[in-house]
Amino acid sequence: MKFAGLAAVAALLAFAVGWSFPGWLLVVLTVAIAAFFRDPVRTSPGGDGLLLSPADGLISQITQVELPRQLIGEGALAPGSATRISVFMSVFDVHINRTPVAGTIKRVAYVPGRFVNADLDKASDENERQYLVVEAADGTRVGFTQIAGLVARRIVSFVREGAIVGTGQRIGLIRFGSRVDIFLPAGYRPCVLKGQRAVAGETILAVRDGGALVAGARQ
């Protein structure tokens, strides 16, 4: 929240020297920044064969694609195609990202790039992005990607390779508008629709045949 603090200090200084209009603008900016960096507590459903949304936002795409090469290789995913679900975050959404499944972080790969509109399909290949693979206790590996957007200028990671994460645990954030893609493992089917809104750590994006819902965790 240091950005909100800096804006608040600037607002106080503006009022102190008699700059009323700039002061009120800085007050509005302070509130907007505080809202952007909010981090609400979520209750994550737990169970076998469930994949939760890694981000708040709009389900903008559900499509079949070839897996990105950054998610392929030893300790990561096997080559091939997968169903990709894209969640687009506007500047008004919570930007804390969460892991879709409990397990071990097997890969974290950062790729610098451009800052085109994250809602465009080419953003998956051209924008600044970070790839992650998490391996569940049953050996299932799930790949997902944090993608910077038109205004976003930094992807912040909270985890490293080898970290143990719980379902819905915070794994990072993307500043100021962005997107997260998740690639479904074989045997999983989407249970959301394009145009639906998702809540990070709570909305079930996909289920495996035979998957079962059990008690969740609040965090």
Catalytic residue positions, numbered: 178
Contact, 106 vs 133, CB < 8 A? yes
Contact in structure between 82 and 67 (CB atoms under 8 Å): yes
Q: 176: helix, coil or strand?
A: coil
CA distance 176 to 148: 8
In degrees rounded to 5, what are phi and psi of residue 32? -65, -40
Bridge partners for 198 per DSSP: 57
75 burial (CB, 10 Å; 0-12 / 13-18 / 19+) is: exposed
